[in-house]
Amino acid sequence: MASTAGHEEARAAAELAARASYGRLVALLARQWRDLAAAEDALADAFRAALEHWPQAGVPARPEAWLLTAARRVLIDRSRAQVVRIDAEPTLALLSDEFAMTEPALFPDERLKLLFVCAHPAIDASARTPLMLQTVLGLDAARIASAFLTSASALGQRLVRAKAKIRDAGIAFEVPERAELGPRLDAVLQAIYAAYGSGWEDVAGADPRRRGLAGEAIWLGRLVVALLPREPEARGLLALMLHCEARREARRDGGGAFVPLGQQDTALWAPALIREAEDELGRAARLSALGPFQLEAAIQSVHAARAASGRTDWAALAQLHEGLAQLAPTTGVLVSRAAAFAEAFGPERGLALLAELPEAEIVSYQPYWALKAHLLLSTRQGAAARAAFDRAIGLASDPAVKAFLLGRSNEARSDAL
């Protein structure tokens, strides 16, 4: 019987292989078998087999090679049983000769290559980014659904429909030529940003499925910039992630408690990352094509300036948020705009902007309720603030954020006494 330590070692090795190699392994299997769903299923079976086999036999010297061999064996067995046939209609036709004909230096990373393949224009636009997150970066449906403010079941159905369309319509996929990368870029950037956000939320590294994901997203962002150096939004996204990453060490205090941005110790911010972010943002600006990622990075740049000036220019932030809301009026952007306007012009202005949001969009959006509670408390509406805090606490997944909100809620109760 394997020891507990053996099980933990096997699980850690499997998690590392999944984080580092999932997309590349899926690409290799899909290229050979021409069926994305079958490749994903076989790889999942290989990981399950690893967790059963490695504790007794030990972690192999080359875990990824072991997993690839195991997944291929699953596909062969299923082919023989005619559950999956080798000549099945392709879901992702990544043929060996197509890879061979691809410009060698064009894609320095298999994951980046597969991201652009999954951005094929024949795939429904609403499914491209979720498909990339699941297929290439290994996020589960629940994490992807959280990023897109939808339910896991609805997101799962969207992915199933997308894969079925790929299979049933016989959509032929090719690794895009350089000239085709531009039209696919936005979906790729959205996927990288969503992956970063998922890793960013797990600041304590408690979720093994998201461990290292923020760093992986930044790496992919750097690769996109190297691939398409004259795309300002690629540089904008990289600048945005670097600014956020610069504050990682300041987001928790010595006891692990959550620290809001405005209360963070700027001495803990990483100057080198901030300088790199500013350089990327400046390069993007010189390309004279403003986009949402550049505006988001500019917002983070204003926050970063507090390290030098000791103050936050909320009027500038309100202006930038207004511009961002014109370009990308997502729920997250509109809630952030309300926060900036509240700081610049008073809490009542922020509450008025929150009141404009459709109820269906914010019913399960935790940042909305956290901000609303804060603004209601600022306007001495204690009872309403407590109700909003309770809603925000119930929707929070991070224990440190829950504890912070609970403390604020207790403040509201104390003020009412």
pLDDT in tens, 69-98: 888 888 777 765 444 333 333 433 333 333
pLDDT in tens, 315-362: 999 999 999 999 999 999 999 999 999 999 999 999 999 999 999 889
pLDDT in tens, 135-172: 777 666 666 766 666 667 777 777 777 777 776 666 65
Cα–Cα dist 86/80, whole Å? 9
pLDDT in tens, 224-275: 998 899 999 999 999 999 999 999 999 999 888 999 999 999 999 999 999 9
Of the two residues 99 and 132, the one the predictor is more confident about is 132
- What mean pLDDT is reported for the chain? 81
Q: Is the pLDDT of residue 19 over 90?
A: no
Helix (H) or strand (E) holding 406: helix 399-416
Q: Which residues of 95-132 are buried (b: 16+ CB within 10 A; e: fewer)?
A: beeebeebeeeebebbbbbbbbbbbbeebeeebbbbbb
Of the two residues 415 and 9, the one the predictor is more confident about is 9
- Poorest-pLDDT segment among 173-177, 354-358, 378-382: 173-177
Average pLDDT over residues 120-141: 76
Question: For 258, which DSSP code?
Answer: B
Q: Is the pLDDT of residue 104 over 50?
A: no
Of the two residues 1 and 274, the one the predictor is more confident about is 274
Q: Is the pLDDT of residue 277 over 80?
A: yes
pLDDT in tens, 218-237: 988 998 998 899 999 999 99
pLDDT of residue 230: 94
pLDDT of residue 357: 96
% of the chain at pLDDT higher than 90: 43
Question: For 252, which DSSP code?
Answer: B
Domain ranges of the chain: 1-88, 326-417
- Poorest-pLDDT segment among 276-285, 325-334, 392-401: 392-401
Task: Determine the topology of domain 326-417 in CATH.
Answer: 1.25.40
Number of helices followed by number of strands (H, E) in the chain: 21, 0
Cα–Cα dist 207/65, whole Å? 25
Q: Is the pLDDT of residue 3 over 50?
A: yes
CA distances from 346 to 9, 107, 119 (A): 53, 49, 43
